[in-house]
Structure 1
Amino acid sequence: MDVRELIPKDKMDTDSVNKLKNLDVRLLRDLVPDLLEWTQDCNWPVARDIGELLLPLGHELIPYLREIFASDDDCWKYAILVELVKKLPMAVLAEMEPDLRRLAFHPTRGERDELAAEEAAEILAHMEKYDKFDI
């Protein structure tokens, strides 16, 4: 079976996502750009599951996330922050800190309007709280 056949066909295609969950995460590496497209709206049923599915890829996601943050799709920035970025391990978040700081402290109007700036600020606050208790 070609794993590309399991890329969701529409925003309701949770059956395909459930099948992807049963695969070794290494098989998903080549699908990351296609899967991330299904996180463009956090109201889509497949968005949350895809975010969870991609979490184990950690650092490997950073280039793709940076592409999203560099795009003009402010709704997608918010959705990816909510459904994936805030759930990443601290080591990955630390590497993304410059991106999060830019979103939080120097947002575009659209990033403010779509609440991406607010979500990035919340992630940074969580990181700072974690650092205080990290021994």
Structure 2
Amino acid sequence: MALAAGGGSSGDGGGNNNINISPLLRTLAKGAAITIGGIFSITAISSTLITLHKRKQIGSSLSTSMMKKNARSCNVCKATGFYMCKLCKGNATIEWSPLYDPVFINPCLCITCDGHRIQRCLNCLGSGFIQQAKADD
């Protein structure tokens, strides 16, 4: 194989080694800018959402403490929020038969407490406190 006079091989286009670098650099810079901008945007959005979520949690705990301060305790559940299931009477199962005059009685899981033997208080909705109505004077 004979070498060309320009020092390159015969298939390199005649020894003209000028490569236009500016479009390559422009494409590389655009890609880097898009990547860095995307990372910055995701970071800013996620930190904002986390901050708002923390503020909402702090606000809800403050409102719960204020609610307890301005409310009276529930007498039905004795401020626990739960009481013994009234359907199964704390047995976790009920006796059931599809017939009016049962031949066989099947023990079934209680549908009110799902077998946990306690149910949420319906008077205070499980919070243990009842809001007092404010009188409009």
Tell me if both proteins adopt one fold, taking TM over 0.5 as the criterion.
Answer: no
Higher relative strand content: 2
Greater RCO, 1 or 2 (C-alpha within 8 Å, sep 6+) = 2
* TM norm structure 2: 0.17
Q: Which protein has the larger Cα radius of gyration, Structure 1 or Structure 2?
A: 2
* TM norm structure 1: 0.17
